[in-house]
Amino acid sequence: MASEYLPKQAEILSVKKETADTSRFRMKFVDPADREAFEYQPGQFVEISVMGAGEVPISITSSPLIDKGYFELCIRDTGKVTREIHKLGEGDIVGIRGPYGNSFDIKSMQGKEVLFVVGGLGLAPLRPVINGVVASRDEYKGVKILYGARTPGDMLFNEDLDEWSKIDGVEVLTTVDRADDSWKGNVGVVPKLFEKTEIEPKKTVAVICGPGIMIKFVMKDLLGMGFKEKDIWLTMERHMKCGIGKCGHCNIGTKYVCIDGPVFTFDQIKDLPDPY
């Protein structure tokens, strides 16, 4: 029986540069048996490793409903391991453990409007959730995607944002903290976009991901609007070093983000010490 600590080999199929420091890596397992056994759901993550550099947790940004035969990770160059990953290209081999963690219960959101409130790299783990919802668009009352980045050059998945905006019943609003001469859209923090659309809290489920400070302000606004705590979903980021609840690095109060999450509803984490 294979050890849960032993990575499986995956080959990089392609690398797509999203921003100056962030790229999307498409890959597949080298062993066909590993490819066949790999099943994941929106919201889960893997541990990716580079020999001699180490291992980091990264959310899966592809969709199990749409992307067949491969999976994708959107990785920002932020440290030793991710820097080494960014030096790799087509044909190179990495180690993969997982998938780990829980996932978004998309079916429980059916019949309601789904409001996505996203900041920066937070669009990566929510991309498969959005794709899952829009793939069954008729099952949901409506979809709103509010997305913000630091600058226009920091916006991820621009092609997806454009495609989502063309779908009937899907509203996409974007904003940046700092505009440049080419930017003609909204300027300001993500919560400012609430003023640009109509939201019915009793008929809406909110899904949030982004920097901790953004989540705090968004949460305050949503609760102020009258959202129920169980109707606010978020995915949390911690250094999930082992991914299986053994090392304790991602412990917050009574929760281990790697096995109890990373997906939570607000009522599940509201009493935790500094959850963001």
pLDDT computed for residue 200 by the predictor = 95
Residue linked to tokens 């979809």: 143
Quick one: average pLDDT of 216-232? 95
71 closest CA partner among 89, 93, 45, 50: 45
d(CA 248, CA 138): 42
Task: Please report which confidence band the pLDDT of residue 150 belongs to, taking 50, 70 and 90 as the band edges.
Answer: very high
pLDDT digits (tens, 9 = 90+) for 172-220: 999 999 999 889 999 999 999 999 999 999 999 999 999 989 999 999 9
177 closest CA partner among 235, 117, 120: 120
d(CA 99, CA 72): 12
Instruction: Record the tokens describing residue 224, joined without a space.
Output: 């102020």
pLDDT computed for residue 1 by the predictor = 45
pTM here?
0.95
pLDDT computed for residue 245 by the predictor = 87
**Which residues are within 8 A (CB) of 196 and not within 5 positions of it... i.e. 6 or more apart?**
173, 186
pLDDT digits (tens, 9 = 90+) for 238-252: 777 888 888 888 888
Q: Which domains does the chain have, with CATH numbers?
A: 8-100 (2.40.30.10), 106-235 (3.40.50.80)
Instruction: Record the tokens describing residue 66, joined without a space.
Output: 């749409």
Three-state DSSP class for 192? helix
